[in-house]
Amino acid sequence: MKFIFLGILIGLSIFWVLWNASLSRFWRKLEARPASQFPVWRHVRDLLLSEAHRCRVQLSPVLWILPDFAPNALVARSGNKIHIALTEGLLRALDRDELRAVLSLCLSHGGGHRRRAQTAIALQLFPFASWLQSYPVILQILLSPWIVALNRIFGSPRRVLVADAKAGRSLKAAEALRKMSVLGRKIPLKHWNFALDSLFLISPLRLDGGPFWVFLSQPPVEERMNALMADRQY
C-alpha cells in the first residue's frame, strides 16, 4: 500500500513538472503574442536579429509582445532558444537606439547558462505564486520568500551587473534603464507574479522597493546605470 501511494505521488509530481514546463502554455497565461504574427513589429524583430548577430549569440532569439503599459522585458531560456517578451509600453517609451541597447541586455542575460534553470523553476512556481497572491498577506509573508529565494539560487545582484557589462552600448543602455525605472514606478506591471521576478530585465519587486520579507534578486537600477556608464562603450 505504501508503494502504491508513493508511486501515485511520484506520478503526480512528474505530471506537474511536465504540465508546467510548457513555455507555450506559459505565454498564453501571460496573454503574450508572438511578434511574428504582426507585421507592425517586423522592425523590432529585425533589430533583435541584428543584435543577436552583432553579439554573436549562438542561441535562436524568439520575440514576444506582452500587453502591458509598464516598460519592461521578460527574458526566458528553453533549449537552444532565448525567449524575449517586450511590453507594449517599452516599445512606446524608447527610441530606436535605446531599444537596441535593451535587446542587447536581454540577449546577454538570456545567454547565461543559469537562465535555463531560472526559467524552469519560474515555470514550476508560477501557478503556485498566482494562487498565493489571492490569499491574505500573512500567508504571502510566510511563503513568498521561498518562491523568490529558489530563483535567487541561480541569480544574484552581482551576476546581473556582469550580464549588463557584457551587453555593451553602455550609455544608451543606462538611459534605457533610467526611462524604464522612472515609468515603471508610475505604471506597475500587471502580467507577473513573485515567481517571475528574476526573469524581468528590471525586477518589479526592485521597482516597488520590495516587501520586507523577500530577497531582491537585482541591485538597484541606479547602481546598474552607474556601472554601465563607468564602462563606456560606444
Q: How many C-beta neighbours within 10 Å does residue 47 have?
A: 17
Yes or no: say if 87 and 73 are a contact pair by the CB < 8 Å rule: yes
| Ranges 11-25, 108-122, 135-149, 184-198: which has the least confidence | 11-25
Q: Sorting pLDDT into bands at 50, 70 and 90, what band is 211?
A: low
Q: How many C-beta neighbours within 10 Å does residue 219 have?
A: 18
- What separation in angstroms does the CA of 217 have from each of 49, 169, 172, 180, 192? 28, 23, 23, 17, 15
In the chain, the largest separation of any two C-alpha atoms, in whole Å, equals 68
Rounded CA separation 139/50 (Å): 46
Which is higher by pLDDT, 139 or 77? Answer: 77
CA–CA–CA angle 169, 170, 175 (5° rounding): 105
Yes or no: say if 114 and 153 are a contact pair by the CB < 8 Å rule: no
Q: Which three cell numbers stand for residue 203?
A: 525586477
Q: How many C-beta neighbours within 10 Å does residue 150 have?
A: 17
CA–CA–CA angle 65, 117, 170 (5° rounding): 60
40-49 pLDDT per residue, tens: 888 899 999 9
**pLDDT of 234 strictly over 80:** no
Q: Which three cell numbers stand for residue 57?
A: 549569440
- What separation in angstroms does the CA of 137 have from each of 37, 143, 196, 198? 40, 10, 19, 21
Q: Which residue has the cell 513589429?
A: 41
CA–CA–CA angle 110, 90, 133 (5° rounding): 75
120-174 pLDDT per residue, tens: 888 888 888 887 777 676 667 777 777 777 777 777 888 999 999 988 768 899 9
Residue ranges of the alpha helices (H) in 30-86?
A: 42-54
